């Protein structure tokens, strides 16, 4: 059995390429269905966020799914040339793949170490795969353990104390360089997701009160606006809202830019040359990058936050060893359990063989002693069961101990030969 991951992330892949590879919720479901049709013997979970696209696969077989096949699958799902994607791909197998998943879920691989969104994103990716029926025992175990690891890191370390997220970095390190104060600024929120809400939380802490929410779903826009004492505008009023805004937070799931350079050029005269801060947290990007070249426009994408996030990481480095210790522990436990799972067929055959012998000998004994009452028969059965369990205990413990270092194939083969265990 094997667990592996193929993907690309903010570490080595520019946003211009990541946004081409990003999956919307509908595209993710279709991709999982397509994977299930093409690779029926493999389990799969697809994680697509602003910072990464990763395909986790698992199989009871020992032969890995070649990275070129997995990469080609990802590329074809998003109509990307596989040759262009290949240089950005990384692949991990076995323990490395498990460690990577746990590290991602615990936010140690995030652009902002300790950011809280990734655990929810991992959980949503896993739940989407469960709904798509592309998971199985191995991915269930891996992702449920990954979420447990993330909770342990959050509760047992201080890595999320005074938690700093991408929105917080954007407000503290970028917006405050442009605006001295926020209490007199008009904020436009495009989209109604978690990133938008967290950015509003930090802006509110800086005194911002004038908030307009625009979203294709009027109900979600109204809910977000109500929570932050703002107001809504319809999707058709986006141009007018942008003309009045000082700050824009855009986090939609659109596959194409919602604000092209040509569209912004028609809005620009109504702004009267006022500074405009745009935080485009969407992948794919909501604002055409060319808009950032316009006078008085300060447009920042997710990748523009990289340097600020790196500074933030230095302040959190002292917490990383404690988090990594938790991950190391959980990886060891998980891999030992995974290797032990591989020995289950031999253990099952060994137990079934001995239980069959037990039943035969009990029946022979009871035939010879017909005068035994029910109480005596029950006590004899219990004694035989206890004897079989005690005899099974040493080989099973030996297998479990050896599983700490990998699948003990030599020991498994020896047991199968010694006790003549048939397939």
Annotated catalytic sites, by residue?
50
Tell me the two tokens of residue 110.
Answer: 């995030």
How many C-beta atoms surround the C-beta of residue 151 within 10 A? Answer: 13
Decide the pairing of beta strands 2-9 and 52-59: antiparallel
Tally of CB atoms within 10 A around 274: 12
Task: Check if the beta carbon of residue 300 is closer than 8 Å to that of residue 279.
Answer: yes
C-alpha 117/C-alpha 48 separation (Å) is: 13
Query: Which residues neighbour 355 within 8 Å (Cβ) at sequence distance 6 or greater?
Result: 388
Give CA–CA dist 254/286, Å, rounded.
7
Across 10-154, the runs of DSSP E, i.e. the strands, are 43-48, 52-59, 90-93
Q: Determine phi and psi for 380, rounding to 5 degrees.
A: -65, -40
Residue 415: which residues within 8 A CB-CB, separation 6 or more?
Answer: 346, 350, 395, 399, 421
CA atoms lying within 13 Å on the CB side of residue 422: 2
Tell me the two tokens of residue 231.
């107001």
Residue 71, judged by CB atoms within 10 A of its CB (0-12, 13-18, 19+), counts as buried
Write the DSSP assignment of 367-401 as a string of letters.
Answer: HH-TT--HHHHHHHHHHHHHHHHHHHHHHHHHHHH
Q: Is 164 exposed, middle or buried (0-12, 13-18, 19+ CB in 10 A)?
A: buried
59 beta partners: 2
Q: Label each residue of 145-190 as H, E or C.
A: HHHHHHHHHHHHCCCCCCCCCHHHHHHHHHHHHHCCCCCCCEEEEE
Residue count of the chain, please give it: 423
Structure tokens, 48: 């697509």
**Host H or E run for residue 417:** helix 409-418
């Amino acid at each position: 059995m094997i667990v592996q991951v193929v993907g690309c992330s903010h570490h080595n892949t520019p946003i211009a390429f990541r946004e081409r590879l990003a999956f919307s919720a509908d595209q993710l479901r279709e991709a999982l269905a397509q994977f299930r049709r093409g690779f029926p013997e493999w389990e799969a979970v697809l994680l697509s966020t602003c910072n990464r696209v990763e395909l986790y696969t698992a199989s009871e077989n020992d032969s890995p799914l070649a990275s070129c096949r997995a990469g080609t699958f990802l590329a074809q799902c998003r109509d990307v040339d596989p040759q262009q994607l290949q240089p950005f791909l990384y692949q991990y197998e076995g323990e490395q793949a498990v460690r990577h998943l746990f590290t991602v879920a615990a936010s140690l691989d995030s652009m902002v170490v300790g950011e809280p969104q990734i655990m929810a994103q991992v959980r949503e990716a896993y739940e989407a795969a469960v709904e798509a029926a592309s998971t199985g025992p191995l991915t269930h175990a891996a992702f449920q353990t990954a979420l447990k690891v993330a909770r342990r890191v959050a509760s047992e370390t201080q890595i999320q104390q005074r938690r700093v997220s991408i929105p917080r970095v954007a407000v503290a390190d970028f917006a405050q360089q442009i605006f001295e104060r926020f209490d007199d600024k008009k904020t436009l929120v495009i989209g109604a997701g978690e990133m938008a809400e967290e950015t509003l939380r930090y802006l509110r802490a800086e005194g911002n009160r004038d908030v307009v929410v625009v979203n294709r779903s009027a109900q979600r826009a109204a809910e977000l606006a109500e929570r932050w004492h703002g107001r809504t505008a319809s999707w058709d009023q986006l141009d007018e809202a942008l003309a009045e805004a000082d700050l824009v937070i855009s986090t939609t799931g659109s596959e194409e830019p919602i604000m092209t350079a040509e569209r912004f050029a028609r809005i620009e005269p109504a702004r009267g040359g006022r500074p405009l801060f745009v935080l485009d947290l969407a992948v794919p990007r909501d604002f055409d990058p060319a808009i950032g070249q316009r006078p008085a426009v300060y447009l920042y994408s997710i990748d523009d936050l990289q340097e600020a996030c790196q500074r933030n990481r230095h302040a959190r480095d002292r917490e990383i060893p404690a988090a990594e210790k938790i991950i190391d522990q959980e990886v060891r436990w998980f891999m030992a359990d995974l290797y032990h799972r591989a020995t289950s067929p031999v253990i099952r055959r060994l137990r079934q063989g001995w239980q069959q012998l037990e039943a035969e000998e009990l029946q022979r004994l009871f035939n010879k002693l017909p005068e035994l009452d029910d109480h005596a028969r029950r006590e004899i059965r219990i004694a035989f069961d206890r004897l079989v369990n005690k005899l099974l205990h040493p080989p099973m413990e030996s297998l479990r101990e050896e599983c700490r270092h990998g699948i003990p194939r030599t020991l498994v083969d020896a047991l199968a030969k010694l006790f003549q265990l048939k397939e």
